[in-house]
């Protein structure tokens, strides 16, 4: 049996195999197991049938397994971030998103079987705010949506849980930088999507999806600031029909069942950026183009570098398929989410094309 290059940092093979057979949760996150007969890799706790000892290889990370050519198991989903939302938190989010006027206190959380301190830490780590702050942002987003439809600030405030108009105005000013009566911008509703390549931050305006980025991308904070300036909008957590549609289409894409996204998009940038992004949308599923080909397509053959920069400024990964642009010699270059993800996405599309089509041709 061969081990990965990171094996020196791992327990010995017999210990890992025993953990695999016993589904020992203490080893979850310490290594993943590749099955040579299927080309799939799993968590130690996977409930699928355990392979023979001579049919497994061990990797320190999911990234190592992906780069070695293994595919993530659909049972245990080993590439999902350990930060994936726990089920009790999912239920809580569903509750507060269904009724944004709720103002749950610590005792309310305990009655739901949640530890308020642990929940605070989780929200700070994954959303940059406390749970109480998350609730306030949800209420503000819902209230602002009502105001955009013509409702007064007073009615919107009291309908969404504020006990005083001054408290609503203070919270609104902190979020949007202006009093409710003076805001002329809009909101971008944001949420997290769990994918086989890790969590992504998704955002949608009234017009459509305007953000889909891997949360560990180095430039994500810059992208979010640019998006807010470009749209004149504040980003707040919440729910949106566009995000619901996006989540379903992303799920189907990773399952190999969707080849063309149909969710509405809101792709606002400079005229040149918008031209480049429109060209990206014409690259067929499973195909690739070079940066030079993209430049010629938009009738700017000398602007290859500018095209590459505009590709990097694409804020809607996967849906606007900048991962399908490669070097002139076919090498993989320039992907903000990491070249290992770019390779995974291209391989996924090629494998799907080798299978029977799920329906009409899709992008």
Question: What tens digit of pLDDT does each residue of 163-213 get?
Answer: 444 555 555 555 554 445 444 456 788 888 888 887 788 999 989 999 999
Domain shared by 25 and 45, yes or no: yes
Residue tagged active-site, from 46, 76, 210, 322? 322
Domain shared by 338 and 269, yes or no: yes
- Decide which of 182, 212, 234 is a domain's last residue: 182
Question: Has residue 46 been placed in a domain?
Answer: yes
Q: Are 217 and 118 in contact (CB under 8 A)?
A: no
Domain shared by 348 and 315, yes or no: yes
Angle between helix axes 165-176 and 131-148 (nearest 10 degrees) is 100
322 labelled catalytic? yes
Which of 112-126, 262-276, 303-317, 340-354 is predicted least confidently? 112-126
Question: Has residue 20 been placed in a domain?
Answer: yes
Domain shared by 88 and 26, yes or no: no
Domain shared by 87 and 65, yes or no: no
What pLDDT sits at residue 1?
A: 39
The token pair at 63 is 């990234």
Domain shared by 45 and 99, yes or no: no
Domain shared by 157 and 112, yes or no: yes
* Domain CATH for 331: 1.10.10.10
Task: Tell me the mean pLDDT in the region 93-110.
Answer: 82
Tell me the average pLDDT of the chain: 79
User: Would you say the C-alpha torsion 42, 45, 48, 52 has a positive or negative sign?
Assistant: positive
Give the predicted TM-score (pTM) of the model.
Answer: 0.62
Task: Tell me the mean pLDDT in the region 65-83.
Answer: 71
* Domain CATH for 11: 3.40.10.10
Angle between helix axes 87-98 and 131-148 (nearest 10 degrees) is 30
- Decide which of 72, 106, 124 is a domain's last residue: 72
Q: Domain range for residue 62?
A: 7-72
Q: Is 236 exposed, middle or buried (0-12, 13-18, 19+ CB in 10 A)?
A: buried
Question: Has residue 60 been placed in a domain?
Answer: yes
What pLDDT sits at residue 154?
A: 47
73 labelled catalytic? no
**Number of structural domains the chain divides into:** 3
Domain shared by 101 and 46, yes or no: no
Domain shared by 92 and 171, yes or no: yes
Model confidence over 201-212: pLDDT tens digits? 899 998 999 999
Cα separation of 137 and 315, whole Å? Answer: 23
Question: pLDDT class for 229, splitting at 50, 70, 90?
Answer: confident
Q: Are 315 and 266 in contact (CB under 8 A)?
A: no
Residue tagged active-site, from 42, 46, 73, 76? 42
Question: Has residue 155 been placed in a domain?
Answer: yes
Between 140 and 57, the more confident residue is 57
Which of 10-14, 56-60, 324-328 is predicted least confidently? 10-14
Domain shared by 316 and 282, yes or no: yes
Instruction: Compute CA 182 distance to the chain's CA centroid, rounded to the nearest angstrom.
Output: 33
Q: Are 101 and 158 in contact (CB under 8 A)?
A: no
Cα separation of 316 and 266, whole Å? Answer: 9
Question: Has residue 201 been placed in a domain?
Answer: no
Question: Has residue 156 been placed in a domain?
Answer: yes
What pLDDT sits at residue 5?
A: 36
Residue 254 has pLDDT above 80, yes or no: yes
* Domain CATH for 174: 1.10.10.60
């Amino acid at each position: 049996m061969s081990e990965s290059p990171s094996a020196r940092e791992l327990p010995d093979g017999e210990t890992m195999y025993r953990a695999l057979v016993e589904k020992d949760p203490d080893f979850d996150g310490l290594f993943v197991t590749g099955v040579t007969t299927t080309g799939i890799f799993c968590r130690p706790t996977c409930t699928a049938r355990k392979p023979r000892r001579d049919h497994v290889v061990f990797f320190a990370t999911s990234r190592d397994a992906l780069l070695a050519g293994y595919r993530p198991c659909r049972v245990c989903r080993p590439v999902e971030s350990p930060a994936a939302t726990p089920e009790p938190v999912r239920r809580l989010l569903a509750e507060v998103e269904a009724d944004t006027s709720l103002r749950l206190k610590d005792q309310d959380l305990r009655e739901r079987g949640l530890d308020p301190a642990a929940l605070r830490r989780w929200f700070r780590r994954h959303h940059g705010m406390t749970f109480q702050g998350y609730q306030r942002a949800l209420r503000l987003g819902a209230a602002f949506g009502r105001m955009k439809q013509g409702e007064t600030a007073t009615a919107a405030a009291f309908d969404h849980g504020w006990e005083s108009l001054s408290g609503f105005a203070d919270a609104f000013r902190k979020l949007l930088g202006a009093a409710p009566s003076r805001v002329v911008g809009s909101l971008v509703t944001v949420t997290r999507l769990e994918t086989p390549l890790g969590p992504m931050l998704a955002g949608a305006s009234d017009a459509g999806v305007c953000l889909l980025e891997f949360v560990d991308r180095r430039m994500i904070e810059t992208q979010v600031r640019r998006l807010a300036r470009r749209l004149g909008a504040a980003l707040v957590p919440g729910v949106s029909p566009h995000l619901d549609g996006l989540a379903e289409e992303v799920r189907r894409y990773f399952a190999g069942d969707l080849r063309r996204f149909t969710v509405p998009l809101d792709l606002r940038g400079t005229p040149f950026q918008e031209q480049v992004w429109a060209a990206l949308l014409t690259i067929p599923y499973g195909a690739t183009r070079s940066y030079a080909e993209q430049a010629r397509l938009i009738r700017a053959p000398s602007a290859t570098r500018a095209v590459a920069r505009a590709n990097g400024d694409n804020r809607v990964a996967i849906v606007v398929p900048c991962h399908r642009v490669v070097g002139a010699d076919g090498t993989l270059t320039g992907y903000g989410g990491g070249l290992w993800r770019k390779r995974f996405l291209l391989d996924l599309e090629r494998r799907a094309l080798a299978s029977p089509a799920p329906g009409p041709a899709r992008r």
